[in-house]
Amino acid sequence: MTPSDRFDFLLRMGDSTLVLAQRLSEWVGKGPVIEEDIALTNVGLDLIGQARMWLSYAGEVEARGRDEDALAFRRDAHEFRNALLVEQPNGDYAETMARQFLFDHWHLLALKAMERSRDERVAAIAAKSSKEVAYHVERSTDWVIRLGDGTDVSHRRMQDAVDGLWMFAGELFLPDAVDAAAREAGVGPDLAALAAPWRSAVGAALAEATLTMPGDDWAQRGGRQGRHTEHLGHLLTEMQFLQRAYPDAKW
């Protein structure tokens, strides 16, 4: 596995957690109830902590003097390697929790696989992160079930959310040359092999929620190669504004 492939692999993990954390931060002060406001903030903070570990390691591998802050705040959208799913707008609460649910189940499977990584640093980050993400899975699954098996309105909204986001989830299981290099080196997971357990877990939760799993497996892809939806640019404009306006500012 070349240093370039390892760098790209680490960006994919770090960027996905960073972008999703930024999306969740948009709910701060706007949650439907105060407990949810706090819970979403805590999940976002978990993801930021994970992003820092991935991006810090990526900066070391790149060896160009960029730390986690430089990688987070001084790259343009086409340089980000996050999955398309996590950059999708929050929408209503059903859409936010459906997005979280679909990503969380993949995230935990990927982290559990990486706990056995031959790269000791990757294994350590995965082991620490998986403890947090196990809670994320439990929480987002609970909300999908509660809203899906709730009122007619909440059921319809959750079904619409799952249907609308489904086409972005498939990208998580479509490996490219970087993923193949990581798998062959024993560094990263076999993404294609994660699809069956993900579908099983997601399908069981959707069934309990009285929701229908979408049957169309066509997937949007490109985010992990730097081709994004228009939503990422708007997100980065907010996230990076202070650092771009006042480079190297110190508190």
Position 31 pLDDT exceeds 80: no
Q: Are 63 and 211 in contact (CB under 8 A)?
A: no
pLDDT of residue 33: 82
How many structural domains comprise the chain?
A: 1
By residue range, what is the domain housing residue 136?
Answer: 3-215+227-245
Whether residue 123 is contained in a domain is answered as yes
CATH of the domain at 201: 1.20.1260.10
Say yes or no to pLDDT of 251 above 80. no
The predicted pLDDT at position 219 comes to 93
- Indicate if the pLDDT at residue 36 is higher than 90: no
Q: Let me know if residue 251 belongs to a domain.
A: no
Q: Is residue 250 part of a domain?
A: no
pLDDT tens string 154-197: 999 999 999 999 999 999 999 999 999 999 999 999 999 999 99
pLDDT in tens, 119-165: 999 999 999 999 999 999 999 999 999 999 999 999 999 999 999 99
Helix axes 230-239, 3-25, angle to 10 degrees: 80
pLDDT of residue 32: 80
Asked if residue 46 belongs to a domain, the reply is yes
Residue 63 lies in a domain: yes
C-alpha distances (whole Å) from 251 to each of 52, 160, 246 are: 20, 44, 11
Asked if 208 and 158 count as a contact pair (C-beta separation under 8 A), the reply is: no
pTM: 0.95
